Amino acid sequence: MPSLKTELNFWLKKFNVKPSKDLGQCFLVAENALQKIVAAARIKPGDRVLEIGGGTGILTERLLAKGASVLAVEKDSRLALVLHERFDQERKIGRLKIIQADFLDLAFPETLEKQGFQSRGYKVVANLPYQITSPAIERILERDFLPSLAVLTIQKEVAERICAGPGDLSSLAVLVQACTEKCTLAGQFPPANFYPRPEVDSALLVLTNITYPEGIDIKALRQVIRAGFAQKRKKLKKNLQGVFGQKIIEKIWKNLKLPENIRAQELPVDQWIVLTAALFVSKY
């Protein structure tokens, strides 16, 4: 059985593809890492999977083998041709749909709905290019069309920040943790697991039971998060006063008994939800 590196080189050579730094193309070539990704995705026959960045189909093949129906979004037109040739039979029977597009420009969730996907009825599995990690995750979580599970290979440092606790929170961490029951680093992948080798380690980020906080509109939550993190050196209270007004924020701070000097990165995620409810649900 050929190695993943040999398999990758076959397809790259056949279609005269040289990995693009501009597109952040680093292809997974480690069997143990691939197995961890597939295991974390917990694929069952009939599952619908959105794969962002199909590449040459190394992961796509495993998802299909587990019985999933896959929608692969691939920005590189050359790699989209690889996927079309490699999975011709799967395309013909409707198990695989390939869209050549930048996920960040894709009509989302309209494109998925046209393919029969339903909110909370699909999974996202992706080896994300490092440079689109934050906007891709935000796009998935902000459009009121949530997956039930997301399994993402991303830069290790970013994965750690996403799963960080109070004191080290970022705006993305608050959004992700507010929308998922569990945020887990399920594996670490060194540069040698990829071709070409990236300069940093990667990690497998698994988000389980993805759902919105009860009674909270996601747009309202995002507005509060963005305002709160607008200037990290400023106190959270000051940042929010600039958007929602001093009188309202003063009253909320008193009612919720929040610390006067707390900064955005220090406020626990559950308190962000309470704060949003106070601003948009309760009448102050």
Q: Residues 167-225: pLDDT tens digits?
A: 999 999 999 999 999 999 999 999 999 999 999 999 999 999 999 999 999 999 999 99
- Cβ atoms of residues 82 and 29 within 8 Å: no
What tens digit of pLDDT does each residue of 115-138 get? 999 999 999 999 999 999 999 999
The residue written with tokens 């490092």 in the block is 130
Query: What pLDDT is attached to residue 100?
Result: 98
Distance CA 207, CA 153 (A): 12
CA-closest candidate to residue 59, choices 108, 8, 94, 95: 8
Q: What percent of the chain has pLDDT over 70?
A: 99
Query: What pLDDT is attached to residue 240?
Result: 97
Is a pLDDT exceeding 70 seen at residue 284? no
Q: What percent of the chain has pLDDT over 90?
A: 96
Would you kindly state where each structural domain of the chain is located, as residue ranges?
A: 4-210, 218-280
283 band by pLDDT with thresholds 50, 70 and 90:
low
Distance CA 172, CA 225 (A): 9
3-state secondary structure of 59: helix
Query: What pLDDT is attached to residue 232?
Result: 84
3-state secondary structure of 174: helix
Give the fold, CATH level 3, of 218-280. Answer: Helicase, Ruva Protein; domain 3 (1.10.8)
Better pLDDT: 283 or 57: 57
Q: Are strands 123-127 and 149-155 parallel, antiparallel or unpaired?
A: parallel
DSSP string, 82-101: HHHHHTHHHHHTTSEEEEES
What pTM did the predictor assign? Answer: 0.95
Query: What pLDDT is attached to residue 185?
Result: 97
Distance CA 266, CA 260 (A): 12
The whole-chain average pLDDT of the chain stands at 96
The residue written with tokens 């990667």 in the block is 202
Roughly how many angstroms between the first and final C-alpha of the chain, as a whole number? 66
Is a pLDDT exceeding 90 seen at residue 233? no
CATH classification code of 4-210: 3.40.50.150
CA–chain centroid gap for 164, Å, is 16
Start-end of H helices in 143-245: 156-162, 171-178, 218-228, 236-244
Is a pLDDT exceeding 80 seen at residue 1? no
Q: Do 4-210 and 218-280 come out as alike in CATH topology?
A: no
The residue written with tokens 């193309």 in the block is 25
Distance CA 265, CA 260 (A): 14
The mean pLDDT value for 154-170 works out to 97
The residue written with tokens 């900064």 in the block is 263
- Cβ atoms of residues 46 and 70 within 8 Å: no
